[in-house]
Amino acid sequence: MKHTIAALLLATTLAGASQNTTYLAIEGSPIDQAYTDNRPYMEMYTPENPCGAAIIICPGGGYQYKTMDYEGRNFAPFFCQNGITVFVLSYTLPYGNCEAPLASIEEAMRGISSHAAAWGIDPQRIGVMGSSAGGHLASTLATAFHPDTRPAFQILLYPVISMDETITHAGSRTSLLGETPDRALIERFSNELQVKTDTPPAYIMVSQDDNAVPIANSMRYYQSLTAQGIPAELHIVPTGGHGWGSHETFAYHDMLLATLQQWIETYVIK
């Protein structure tokens, strides 16, 4: 399924348009509207011509809040145009429980898999995407999955990867692990240390001038992936800072769409 750059730009333009949204509880049952408390839920966006693949998008927010628009639902038209069913995940924030966000995305994987036949999804082709702290959550699932929750691919934008205090995002680390986490917990949630031979393929983009999450996070993760023989694509662009997400004002927005399009045609759309 090939698309021109013009079509890609159109997909992003459509991101601001009204879309039909199906709200789902984390196990996949329909709900009337989004939850306003800390209960997890999903927003599902269904393509006209499903290809069988799906993606769970984890917005960022430093594990303190979730940027559901520009790091979440605004990417839905791009993926739906490619036949990929989109689930934007409002995961449980930790509030002292470091297990809560990961439990949310694991439940989401299981919930989507249990409804896969009805939704035209291949349960072996469900991937994850995350930006910033959402990238940490996505890469945590990609490196710490159970047999029934392994994602098929991972897409990470300016991700927090490590809990190593020398390169981490301090706010995300504190929100997830607390003020004085022990060494075992730090290592467990430093995903560059958890890459395995069955970690899924990765697409990563980060800005060199990101002053919030050092690019060492992405670089170390890329090195760990390649050391294990995992297909990985890392784009480091010179400017953009942190948090550009789906914004068209990001100088490398077109490059993001074009390279991501090529990557999903290789690893997602089959």
Give the span between the Cα atoms of 124 and 122, in whole angstroms: 5
Q: What is the pLDDT of residues 138-171, one digit of tens each?
A: 999 999 999 999 999 999 999 999 999 999 999 9
pLDDT of residue 85: 97
pLDDT attached to residue 3: 45
C-alpha torsion sign, points 104, 106, 107, 108: positive
Phi, psi of 205 (to 5 degrees): -135, 140
Whether 20 shows a pLDDT value over 90: the answer reads no
Query: Under a CB-based contact definition with an 8 Å cutoff, are residues 30 and 103 in contact?
Result: no
Residue 197 backbone phi and psi in degrees, to 5? -70, -20
pLDDT of 214 over the 70 cut: yes
Give me the domain span that covers residue 238: 5-267
Q: How confident is the model at residue 194 (pLDDT cuts 50, 70, 90)?
A: very high
Strand 85-90 and strand 41-45: the pairing is antiparallel
* Contact between residue 1 and residue 24 where contact means Cβ atoms under 8 Å apart: no
Q: Higher pLDDT residue, 2 or 175?
A: 175
pLDDT of residue 13: 41
Cβ 141 vs Cβ 106: under 8 Å: yes
- Say which CATH number the domain at 113 has: 3.40.50.1820
Q: pTM of this prediction?
A: 0.94
Tally of structural domains, the chain: 1
pLDDT confidence tier of residue 221, bands split at 50, 70 and 90: very high
Supply the DSSP string of 56-76, one letter for each residue: EEE--STTT---TTTTTGGGH
